[in-house]
Amino acid sequence: MKWRKAGWFLLPAFLLYTVFVVYPLVSALADSFWRWQGTARGGFAGMANFTGLFTTFPLNHQLWPAFWHTAVFFVGTMVVQNTFGLLVAVLLTELRWARRFLQTVYTLPYLVGGLVVGYLWSLLLSPSFGPVNATLEAVGLGSFARPWLGDPALALPVVILVNAWQYVGFPVLLFGAALAGLPPEYAEAARVDGANAAQRFFRVTLPLLLPSIGVVSILTFIGSFNTFELVYALEGAQGNQPTGPGGATDVLGLIFYRVAFQEGGVDAIGQSSALAVLLFLFIFGIAVLANRVVRRREATLT
Amino acid sequence: MRTRKGFAILGLATVLAGMSACTATGSSGGDDGGKVTLSVWSWRPEDAATYKQIFAEFHAAHPNITVDFKPYKSTEYNTILSTGLTQAGGPDVMQLRSYGLAQPLIQAGNLVALDGKVTGLANFDPTALDGARGKQDHKVYGVPLEMSTFQIYYNKDIFSKYGVTPPTTWDQMIADAKTLQGKGITPFAAAGKDTWLLPLYDDAFAATRYGGPAFEGKVLGGKAKFTDPDYVAALDVMNQLKPYFPKDQMGLAETDVQTLFATGKAAMIPEGSFALAPMKAINPNLNLGVFNAPPAPGALVSNPLEVGWVDASYGLSAKSKHQKEALELLQWMTTADFGHLVADDLKQVSLIKGVQSADPLLGQMVQDYTAAPTPYLMLVDFRYGTPLGSDLEAAGLQKMLLGQQSASQVAGDIQNGISQWFTP
């Protein structure tokens, strides 16, 4: 009797989850095994859609650079966004005034869509009319003016920086909450023992933060490997051409978008579904693995 | 199985509707007397107001048919259309992309072939109908709406200020460019961020070098390849022009270079007929002229060529419940009346025979194209399979201009990519 009642309560969530999460995932998996002519399904394709990703020129020449760029994007975001976010979070907990206000300020760009942020920054960074280069020239640093989004060496770092600008509020909030949850006794004890600020941070606070650093890292990983809209807004996506100057900012999410919507291939559904399945398996696999590692670390802490 | 039966029934209905429409076209106020609203989709939100007037004229002549014009954002249109055509609430009549990009819809059976149903198709050249022709069944699935030409615009005021005239030889063009550069003016406002423009630049500047339509015939017939020295040399022409492009080219989008040109910071811009209105919008006082690039060094064609292609057609959804009325609308779109509305109100180049544009600049573009046409090779012939030829050349030319690839590497990639699906 009790169980039946519980079932009724679970039913709405179960239905929603099935319809909006399980069904699309399973149907993408199914679509990836069939041949497609536009939106009409043809015969069974076996693994052809999957092997096609790695054998069709120029896709096979785009996949690995894009994977590499995505990995660099992840590492760059970890280094720039999350370390800076941690620094800000630590400083904010020390702050006596304006803490709430600054937290809001750091989180604000997070509330604006990636397309909007990308568009704004592409205007700011425009080589001919953008205020960034105009400012550099006005203060006599004209030699530093660059086509920021059009230079193969600079494009990816610039994208990482803009992304960090947008999402820095995320680590600030998460680390802030974790820091607020740390018992003050540990730091106090260390202080009494004569540890200076740096020692207190690296020997006491940081190890205690490891679980939340793990969570932030996993979420950053998932976010980075799914990244799309910001790069799209900054660099565009055309046909099946790698995005960015000389393909410098091509990431996996953009390859999926191009294959699915832009390239105009009659077999787009099969090929893009295959890519989506691979991406899902990779991200899911790494996330599960990383989660297990973090859990184990957490267990050793207590 | 069920969907296949559905298509068969639809096909039958289409044929029946088509037969009745043949007798009904031109006449209005049929016996059925039922009022019908046709949903027409397009990727031109900027034309919505003009289309309202255009379809009001159609409604005046066909009182039982009202047209509901629904424009969508150009960059999202393909996706919206391909889903819209398979579900309820889709369009009856819709704007179609051209050549290879129309094929997925045709092959999925979403469109109705118009041969024999729209008699007005005779008002077009066969090459104009190629834009909406099925690659496999050779049937026509769309009424051509407009074409685009691509040429070099120049700012007449800047030219006369510095004593420069539109060039008749390649050397004169380079000398002009040097003069202008010496005065601190960018000679050619060329974009590099919107890579789709790069193959067009190459056709505009160097179609003469690879031979234009003659090369097209050879490559389609299997007698030439993109790796042939003439095509490689034509790609390399872009390297020779690079000094006269903006130094931050790869950071500049199409709108950026249009602004550079319209505000007088650049003297020339390779652009399409479709760019005339937007550039005039930036600066209404712009005093413009157009010319085609003189034959490049070593050119196989000794006169300037103008690049052109069919840009859009209007097609009929196989799912439309108003096949007869939709065919009436499509038939009307083949008339000179409609052609003049396209030329004068939409300010596009109509493809209907005998329709001339009132705008002198557009008029000259049409004239130049008719006199010495060359196709936008990668769009017209090499978008029937993936990878698209236009994408291969665009990505390759960008790398070449960044110094990451040589012209022969670009040509090799184009040949390699296209040969995956193209057989002469």
CATH number at residue B249: 3.40.190.10
Residue in A with minimal Cα distance to B79: A261
Same structural domain, B171 and B234: yes
Same structural domain, B350 and B286: no
Give the total number of structural domains in chain B.
2
The CB-side HSE value for A133 (13 A sphere, CA atoms) comes to 17
Residues forming beta bridges with residue B291, ordered by sequence position: B152
- Pairing between strand B36-42 and B65-71? parallel
Q: What is the mean pLDDT of residues B45-53?
A: 90
* pLDDT 10s digits, B387-415: 889 999 999 999 999 999 999 999 999 99
Q: What is the mean pLDDT of residues A90-109?
A: 87
pLDDT of amino acid B354 = 83
Same structural domain, B126 and B240: no
B30: pLDDT strictly greater than 70: no
User: Is position B294 within any domain?
Assistant: yes
User: Is position B27 within any domain?
Assistant: no
Is cis: bond before B375, omega within 30 of 0? Answer: no
Structure tokens that stand for B264 in this block: 């007088």
Pick the residue with more confidence: B73 or A83? A83
> Which of 88-117 (B) contact A at CB < 8 A?
100-101, 103-105, 107-110
Q: What is the mean pLDDT of residues B44-57?
A: 91
pTM of the full structure = 0.80
Residue B2 — pLDDT band, cuts 50, 70, 90?
A: very low
Maximal CA-CA distance, chain A = 79
**Cα Rg, chain B, nearest whole Å:** 23
Pick the residue with more confidence: A264 or A131? A131
CB contact under 8 A, A264 and B388: yes
Q: Which of B378, B335, B406 is nearest to B203 (CA)?
A: B378
CB contact under 8 A, B251 and A150: yes
First to last CA, chain A: 40
Structure tokens that stand for B405 in this block: 């690839």
In chain A, which residues have their Cβ closer than 8 Å to the Cβ of B108? Answer: 37-40, 266
* pLDDT 10s digits, B299-327: 999 999 999 999 999 999 999 999 999 99
Residue in A59, A127, A246 closest to B251 by CB: A127
Instruction: Calculate what percentage of chain A has a pLDDT beyond 90.
Output: 51
* pLDDT 10s digits, B89-123: 899 999 999 988 888 899 889 999 999 999 999 99
Residue B33 — pLDDT band, cuts 50, 70, 90?
A: low
pLDDT of amino acid A93 = 87
Contact B44, B70 (CB under 8 A): no
B29: pLDDT strictly greater than 70: no
User: Is position B7 within any domain?
Assistant: no
Best mutation target among B193, B319, B402 (most A Cβ atoms within 10 Å) is B193
**Cα Rg, chain A, nearest whole Å:** 23
User: Is position B16 within any domain?
Assistant: no
User: Is position B424 within any domain?
Assistant: no
Residue in A with minimal Cα distance to B265: A128
CB contact under 8 A, A242 and B391: no
Same structural domain, B96 and B137: yes
Same structural domain, B237 and B349: no
Same structural domain, B226 and B348: no
Residue that has been written with the tokens 């960074």 in this structure: A125
Is cis: bond before A58, omega within 30 of 0? Answer: yes
Say what the alpha-carbon torsion angle B292, B296, B302, B306 is, to the nearest 10 degrees.
-30
Same structural domain, B316 and B238: no
User: Is position B368 within any domain?
Assistant: yes
B167: pLDDT strictly greater than 50: yes
Would you report the helix, strand and coil content of chain A in percent, each value rounded to 5?
Answer: 75, 5, 20
Q: Which of B336, B184, B196, B149 is nearest to B260 (CA)?
A: B184
B31: pLDDT strictly greater than 80: no
User: Is position B279 within any domain?
Assistant: yes
Same structural domain, B177 and B228: yes
For residues B324 and B331, give the distance between their C-alpha atoms in angstroms, rounded to a whole number.
Answer: 11
User: Is position B193 within any domain?
Assistant: yes
Contact B153, B294 (CB under 8 A): no
Instruction: Calculate what percentage of chain B has a pLDDT beyond 70.
Output: 92
- Pairing between strand B288-291 and B143-155? antiparallel
Helix (H) and strand (E) counts for chain B?
A: 18, 10
**DSSP class per residue in A136-200:** HHHTT-GGG---TTT-TTTHHHHHHHHHHHHHTHHHHHHHHHHHHHS-HHHHHHHHHTT--HHHI
Same structural domain, B175 and B153: yes
Same structural domain, B153 and B53: no
Same structural domain, B204 and B263: yes
Residue B368: CB atoms within 10 Å: 19
Same structural domain, B206 and B80: no
Q: List the domain range (segments joined by +) for residue B94.
A: 36-146+310-373
Residue in A40, A127, A246 closest to B108 by CB: A40
pLDDT of amino acid A302 = 59
For residues A149 and A157, give the distance between their C-alpha atoms in angstroms, rounded to a whole number.
Answer: 10
For residues B402 and B33, give the distance between their C-alpha atoms in angstroms, rounded to a whole number.
Answer: 64
Q: Which of A286, A284, A162 is nearest to A232 (CA)?
A: A162
- The mean pLDDT value of chain B amounts to 89
